[in-house]
Structure 1
C-alpha cells in the first residue's frame, strides 16, 4: 500500500489558501477516518466500582439539593473520549442517579432515549407519559424520546439507578434538547400487567391504540424468572440471555440502543463473539469477571463496565454454586439500522 501524503508536504501558502475557503485536503487524514481492516475505537475498556462511587453520590445528595440539580447524577465517563465529553461509548451515556426520600425530580421530556436500571432502594417511582412505574432493584424503566417523565420518592431510604441514554449520538446529530413541563396526572393502567405473558398481547377488537411504547416497566422478577426458565429448558444452551422487547412489535424496547439480561450458570465461562457495537455490563446479582481485550474487571453487585466494539470479551461467573445475573446495553439496533453491524468469530 502506498504511503499517503502528509499535510506538511504541502506548501504553507497552499494550506492557508485552502483554509480561507473552508477546504481541507482528504489524503493526509484518509487513514484516520478509514483505517484498514477494522475500526479503531476511542472507547476504552473501563470499570466503575459502585462501592467507590456510592459514597460520592450520597455526598452529592448532601452538597446539592434536588432543586439546584434537577437530576442529581454522577456520569460514568470513558477516559478514551475525554471525561468532559461524558460518554461511556460513542453512542452511550451512563449515569448513576440519586433520589432521596421526599424528593421530586420535575417533569421534562427530551429527544434522547433513556432507560433506568434500578440499583438499590425502595419507595421511588418514575411517572412516564402518565404511567406511574414503581422502582425496585433490577427493574428496567423506559423513558423514550419525547415522553414526559418525572421521578418521585415516597420511601425512607435513598434510591439509586443507572441511567443509559443515547445522548452522545443525539447530541452529535445536533438534535438534543429538553422541555420542562408541569407535574403529570397519573393515568390508570400499567403496561407490565397487560403484557405479563410471553406470546400473548391484548386484542384490539374495536381500535388499536398505536402507542409506540406499550410497555414502560420491565420488572426484574419477570426477567429473572425468564432467564431461569430458559436455562432449565435448554441446559445445553451456552448463552442464557433475554432481550427487552416491545411486546407489540417484537423489536427492541427502544429504537437506538439494545437492552438485555444475561445469566451465567454456576462456574460458567462464556466467550462472546467479537461484534461491532460497544457493550455495557452491569451486575444485578452475583459476581462476574469480565475480561475485555485482556483487561479483567471483577464485577460485584451494582458494578459497571464498558467494552469497546470489536473487543474480545469473556464472562466468568466467580461462584461455583450460584448463578450470576447481568444487565447489558449495546449499540446493536443502531448498527443494524445503519447497515454496519458485524459479528466475527
Structure 2
C-alpha cells in the first residue's frame, strides 16, 4: 500500500507545472507585484510522507574542539569577546547560519580564571551544560549557580545573567539556545545591564528531593522558573535509583521539569538525561523533533541511519527529526550518561509532534 501511495505522489509531483513552463513576461509581471505561483514549489513545501530536512547528523569531537577553544582564549580577551564561544554549526544549514537544527543553537563557551562575562538579558531561552572545570558560576536573576560538570543551568528568556570564575583552571560549558527560532520570528535581541547582587536562596536546594517541598514556601513561589540550577549529582542519583527500582525498564531517562508545575523546564526546548546500563543497547524511536546528544560520562556507540560514530566523554552530536537512533554503551562494567536536548515542547505547542 505504501509503495502504491508513493507512486501516486510521484506521479502528481511530475504532473505539476514548472516555473519554466510559464512565459517570461508573465513571470516578470508576477515579480513586479511581489507575487509567486505556488504550484511549481508545492511539493518542495509539502513533500509526501516525510518533511524535507536540512539538518544533517553531525558529530563534534571534544578532543578536537577543546584545543581550538583554548586557543581562542589566548587570541581573544574576554573584553573583546564578551562571550567566548565556538558555535557548533550544522553543515546542512550552512556554517554561516550558526545553527545545529531548525530551532537549536549550540556553542562551546570558555571562561578563564579571573574572568567575568558581563550581565545581559535576551529574548532567546538558554541553558548551560557544564563540560569541565570548577570555580565558575552563573548569576541568574540574582541566584548564584555554581558550575560543576554535568550541571544544567537555565537562563530563560528575559532574565538577567552573567558569568564569573573564581577558580584556577579553565571552565567550559555547552550552550543550548532556541536562537534560530527566535531569530526567524524577528524577535531576537539583547539588552546590557549592570552587575547583579547575589541573593539568598536556591531553587536547587529548595527542591532537592522529589516528593518533599518546603512547608513554609510551597504556596507556589510565583516565579516562572523556581529552579534555575539542576545539579548533576542529584540527576545522576535519580537515574541510578530509577534503574535499580525498575530493572526491566529499557530507557532509563529523566526529564528536567519545573518542580512546581511538572512542565518542561523551558518553553521551546526540552532537556533530558539518559542512562545506559553496562553493555546496554537502546533504540530511540524516530520522532518529529531534532535532538542533541552530549556525553556526560562514559562512551557510547551511535548509529543514525547507517552513519556510525562514537560519543566519547564531552562529545556532542545532533540528529535530524524523523530519524531513529541506535545507542550502545561501550562499557560492560560501568553505566554511560547522556544529556539530551530536543524541540519536543515546540512541536507539541504547534501540534506537529509525532513518533514513528
Q: TM tier, shorter chain?
A: over 0.9
Shift of 1:207: 6.1
> Does the 8 A contact of 1:201 with 1:247 survive in 2?
no
> Does the 8 A contact of 1:262 with 1:326 survive in 2?
yes
Shift of 1:297: 1.5
Structure 2 residue corresponding to 1:125, chosen from 137, 140, 164: 137
Find the counterpart in structure 2 of residue 43 from structure 1: 55
Find the counterpart in structure 2 of residue 273 from structure 1: 285
Distance 1:39 1:158 in 2: 42
Structure 2 residue corresponding to 1:66, chosen from 70, 78, 89: 78
Structure 2 residue corresponding to 1:238, chosen from 210, 227, 250: 250
Shift of 1:172: 0.3
Change in 2 beyond 3 A, CA 1:68/1:286? same
Count of aligned pairs between the two proteins: 344
Change in 2 beyond 3 A, CA 1:339/1:188? same
Q: How does 1:79-90 map to 2 (within 5 A)?
A: 79-90=91-102
Structure 1, unmatched stretches of 5+, are: none
Find the counterpart in structure 1 of residue 113 from structure 2: 101
Find the counterpart in structure 2 of residue 198 from structure 1: 210
In the TM superposition, what whole-angstrom CA distance separates every residue of 1:67-118 from its partner, at most 9, and x where no partner exists?
0100000000000000000010000000000000000000000000000000
Change in 2 beyond 3 A, CA 1:242/1:25? same
Find the counterpart in structure 2 of residue 31 from structure 1: 43
Shift of 1:248: 0.4
Change in 2 beyond 3 A, CA 1:24/1:216? same
Structure 2, unmatched stretches of 5+, are: 1-10
2:172 corresponds to 1:160 = yes
Structure 1 residue corresponding to 2:20, chosen from 8, 20, 23: 8
2:327 corresponds to 1:310 = no
Distance 2:178 2:155 in 1: 12
Tell me the secondary structure at the aligned position of residue 70 of structure 2: helix
> Does the 8 A contact of 2:109 with 2:173 survive in 1?
yes
Distance 2:217 2:297 in 1: 41
Change in 2 beyond 3 A, CA 1:152/1:234? same
Shift of 1:201: 2.8
Distance 2:172 2:343 in 1: 24
> Does the 8 A contact of 1:201 with 1:248 survive in 2?
no
> Does the 8 A contact of 1:96 with 1:162 survive in 2?
yes
> Does the 8 A contact of 2:220 with 2:260 survive in 1?
no
Find the counterpart in structure 2 of residue 57 from structure 1: 69
> Does the 8 A contact of 2:127 with 2:153 survive in 1?
yes
**Cα RMSD for the two superposed structures:** 1.0
Tell me the secondary structure at the aligned position of residue 59 of structure 1: helix
| Structure 1 length-normalised TM | 0.98
Shift of 1:291: 1.0
Structure 2 residue corresponding to 1:134, chosen from 146, 158, 166: 146
Find the counterpart in structure 1 of residue 352 from structure 2: 340
Shift of 1:331: 0.3
